[in-house]
Amino acid sequence: MPGPEQLTAALAAEIAECVRRFGARPPGAGPPPLAAGPVPERPSAGHAPASVRAVGVDVVDVPRLARLGRRWGDSLLAHLFTEEERRAAQGGSDRYRWESLGGRLAAKEAVKKVLGSQGEAAAWRDLEILKGRHGQPVLALHNGAAVAVEHAGCTHVHLSITHEAQLAVAVAVGV
C-alpha cells in the first residue's frame, strides 16, 4: 500500500499531466498556484500605465428602441440624447439611425454602471457620446457628470460600441 508521500507525489504528477494536456485541473485539485514572480509589464505605447477603476457593459434592443422612438417621438429622444448626439446618428439610413442611437444609449448605460459601481450617478444628457476624429466614441461630461466621474475615482472613461440590426452593445472602462 502506498504511503502518504507516494500518494502526494502521484497526485502532483497527475495534476501536472492534466494541466499540461488540458490546461485544466482535476476535481478537488483546488485553485491553480499563483504565478511566481511579478507579472511582466505590457508595452504601453508611450502612455503611462493606468489602472482600471471600474467597468460597465450594456446591451440595447434596437427594434424596441425604434418602436419606442416612433411612438413617443422627439420627447423620448430629447430626454435621452443631446442635439449633437441626435445629429450624429443622422446622415445614414433609418436603420443606421436607430442602431447608432441604440449604441449611444448602451454606452450611456455602461458609463452609468462604471459610476454606479462607485456609488455615483449622472443624468442621460450629461453623458454625451460624441464621435472622435476616427469615428470612435468619445465621452463628453456635462454638469454633475464630471463631478460624478471624479468622485468615482476616474480621470477618463474609455468606450467601445458595436451595433447591428437587432442589438447594440457598449463597454465602458473607467481609469
- Which residues contact ligand COA by CB under 6 A? 100, 103, 131, 134-137, 161-163
Instruction: Compute the least distance from the CB of residue 65 to ligand COA, in Å.
Output: 13
Which cell numbers in the block locate residue 50? Answer: 493606468
Burial string for 69-84 (b: 16+ CB within 10 Å, else e) reads beeeeeeebeebbbee
Residue nearest to ligand COA (CB): 135
Nearer to ligand COA, 112 or 163 (CB): 163
Nearer to ligand COA, 88 or 115 (CB): 88
Is-contact 162 103, C-beta < 8 A?
Answer: yes
**Residue 147: count of CB within 10 angstroms of its CB:** 13
Nearer to ligand COA, 56 or 103 (CB): 103
Instruction: Compute the least distance from the CB of residue 85 to ligand COA, in Å.
Output: 10
Separation CA 96–CA 144 (nearest Å) = 31
